[in-house]
Structures are given as C-alpha cells and as structure tokens.
A = this chain, B = another copy of it.
Amino acid sequence: MTDIQRLSTSDSDFDTRLDGLLAWESVSDDRVQQIVAEIIREVRARGDAALLDYTARFDRWTPATPADLELPRARLEQAWNTIPAEQRQALEAAAERIRAYAEHQKLAGWSYRDPDGTLLGQQVTPLDRAGLYVPGGKAAYPSSVLMNAIPAKVAGVAELIMVVPTPDGELNELVLAAAHVAGVDRAFAVGGAQAVAALAYGTETIPGVDKIVGPGNIYVATAKRAVFGQVGIDMVAGPSEILVICDGGTDPDWIAMDLFSQAEHDEDAQSILVSWDAGFLDRVAASIDRLLPTMERAPIIEAALRARGALILARDLDDAIAVANHIAPEHLELSVADPESIVGRIRHAGAIFMGRYTAEALGDYCAGPNHVLPTSRTARFSSPLGVYDFQKRSSLIMASAEGSARLARTASVLARGEGLTAHARSAEYRGDVEA
C-alpha cells in the first residue's frame, strides 16, 4: 500500500502536522554562495573570457570564439522546421492560447485632472531588455520557454535574450523550437551562475538585461538572488505543489493521476487532497495503489507522496476552504460540482483549476494562464508570472499654477514638520505665484 499520510482536520495535532508537511526552507549553503560569488566576480571582471572558461569546465565543451556561444535565429528556426509536425502544432496551439490570455493582462496608463487643472496619472512602459534562463539537460522544458517568453513579448520588451546551457554541447530541439515560436530575439549556449552574471552585467558578447526570469538549479537561483537590485528577477521557486479539494464526485482515478502529475516532478514535490467524504479518500487511496505501478516515474512519485503528500479529511466544505487558504497553494483544483460558487472564498492560490474537467496539466501546457506560479505559501503575497512583470509604472504629476499654490501650503507644513526646509522652500516658491 502506498505510504501517503492520512490527516483529519479534527485531529488535535492537525495544525502542527500540516505545518510540518508544508515546511520548506530554501537555503543555499555557504559553499554554494561562495562559488556563485566567485563566478559573478569573474564574469564582471573578465567578461567573455570567463564565460568560455566556465563553459569548458561545467558544460565540457569549448567554443572557438565567444561569438560561437550564440545560437543564431536560423538555428532556432531550423529546430522549428525539423521537429515532428505533431509537436510543432502542439507548440503553436499552446503559444497562441498563452498569448491570447497574456493580452488580457497588459497594464495600461491612466490619468485624471483635479478641478484646478492639475494632472495626475500613471504611465506604463515595457522593460527594454529581458533575459530568460532555460535549464539544459533532462529538466529542459519547452513549455517553460513559452510561459516565460510570451508575456515578455506581449508586454513589448524590445529584446528578449535566452540563455541555455548545452552540457557536452547537446541541444534540446524542442526548447529551440519553442524559443522560435515564442519570439526569442537572441539565444546563447551558456548556463549556470555564469549565464546569470552575464545577463546581469553584460559581457562583450552577451548584452546586459533589465530583468532575469526562468527556473534553474541551486547555483542559478543563488546567482539570481545575488544580482537582484542590479537587475530585476522573478521569484525564486520552491518545489511544485498541488492541493485538490474534491466533493467526492470526481472519478478517483482522475484525482489520483492529478496528484501523480505533481509528484512526478521531483521527490520534494507536494500533492495534497482534501475532502469531507471519507469514503472518497479511501477510493483515491485505492486508485493510487492500483495506478502507481503503471507509472513511468513511479519511484519519484512514490517518494514525493511518502515525504510530502497527504489525504486530508475535512469536516465540510468551509473547513476544506480554510485549509486551502492556510496552505496558499501554487495549484488549487476545485474538483466540485459548482466551483464558481466557492472560488470567491479562495483568498490565496497561484492558479485555480475549477471543475472536474480542469486537470492541472491542462494549465501547465496550454490553457492560457502562466505555469510560473508562487510556491511555498508565497501566494499569500505574490502572483503568477505575467505581462505585468515585464512592464513598469511611472507616476505622473503636472500641477497647474493654482494647484501648485494649494499643494505648496500642505507640503510646506509637512516638510517643516520633518525639518526638511529645502523641500519647504522649493514648494513655497511655486506657492508664491498665487500669494
């Protein structure tokens, strides 16, 4: 029998056990910190020369010249043209839906005028240049390229630079094809902390960017944290998680497979089901037992379910919603008869999959919304990656003569209250026009 924890919200130690399951601290040890700091120093100091050295050392191939690090657009197009038609169509269909959804997210500027003619508003502009980190090797996900690149292009980012390591010189054709269809402007075969440093500070060959997004290993994550401030970064993600709330009316095999789809990512992934139907929890447990041996990634799924999975018995729907709001899950399935009647009571979740037909996997690839989502309870204060992450706002103020006189009186009192007399006098000069 599969070893997945069974909890009940009525247990006296429920809160403690749940928090124990959720606990996750992403700390880079000192060794990683030091290696990353050294790599960043080297890339800042020696530019391309350092990139070539690290590529030889970590990826085990040696570009003849720095220019050889670039994957020309023709190479991306070639990948696009040579992958199987079925995959090309799937990438195209996904890209189209991701783009359509992203268009709805675009921020627009606005302004209004006070009765005295003073204008107030907000101007919205895209980032000039964004960098997209794409992992190489076995965790190379073309869907990730689409999800990170398309919002940037919809935002109007003028230049989108992709970096992807090519261990032993090996390229992933699906990743290159995804970069092509997503509109990546330039791509470089470099990875690790050295790629992050190059994007943050620029080298002779790789242009510096304004923000770096995309997943990576602990070295990449540590480097992103280190260059934050010099450039923007997206969130530093923890393990992926799903919480399913089910009323007992969904096929238990479907729910088991949804839990598996999260657990198959890696051993730290988290799959939790909450229901107030005890019999249903038993049926899902039986489905897990029956289906697990048929899964290609069974050992990973089993390890994840054992370490961080749970089937939770709630008292009722309200109780289940309270659990969801405490967990603030990255992915939340509302596998219930009438999800629209309860979605408004969900206060914290990265993405909400409503109804029995909406498998999380649909959202991972092609429903439209982004699959880059806040993990580890950070949905309490953060949002899915979106077009808005590639736009920023500037406040606009244009005081009329009358307005500046009025504002100057208030500003002067407050500035003098703070002991900032240059502020006060600067305001008062404008106030005098009316005096």
Chain A positions within 8 Å of B, measured between CB atoms, are: 26, 86-87, 89-91, 93-94, 101, 104-105, 110, 112, 118-120, 122-123, 125, 127-128, 138, 141-143, 174, 210-211, 229, 231-232, 236, 251, 253-254, 257-258, 260-261, 263-265, 295-297, 301, 332, 339-340, 343-344, 346-355, 357-370, 373-374, 376, 378-384, 386, 392-401, 403-404, 407-411, 413-415, 417-427, 429-430, 433
* Cross-chain pairs A/B with CB under 8 angstroms, 28 sampled: A86-B413, A87-B413, A87-B414, A118-B367, A123-B344, A123-B352, A125-B346, A125-B347, A127-B381, A143-B414, A232-B381, A257-B422, A260-B422, A264-B420, A264-B421, A265-B420, A340-B398, A350-B395, A351-B395, A357-B430, A358-B399, A359-B404, A359-B429, A361-B411, A362-B397, A365-B423, A383-B394, A386-B393
Contact status A350-B429, CB under 8 Å: no
Please indicate which of the listed interface residues A251, A254, A368 has the most CB atoms of chain B within 10 Å of its own CB.
Answer: A368
Given A141-B418, A350-B394, A398-B339: A426 touches B261 (CB 8 Å cut-off): yes
Please indicate which of the listed interface residues A90, A258, A396, A433 has the most CB atoms of chain B within 10 Å of its own CB.
Answer: A396
- The quantity of this chain's copies bound in the complex is 2
Contact status B397-A392, CB under 8 Å: no
Given A359-B427, A361-B427: A394 touches B87 (CB 8 Å cut-off): no
Contact status A366-B414, CB under 8 Å: yes
Given A119-B354, A417-B174, A418-B143: A394 touches B346 (CB 8 Å cut-off): yes
Contact status A263-B422, CB under 8 Å: yes
Contact status A365-B429, CB under 8 Å: no
Contact of A430 among B254, B347, B368, B425 (CB under 8 A): B254
A127 to chain B, nearest CB (A): 6
Q: Which residues does chain B contribute within 8 Å of A174, judged by CB atoms?
A: 417-418
Contact status A411-B366, CB under 8 Å: yes
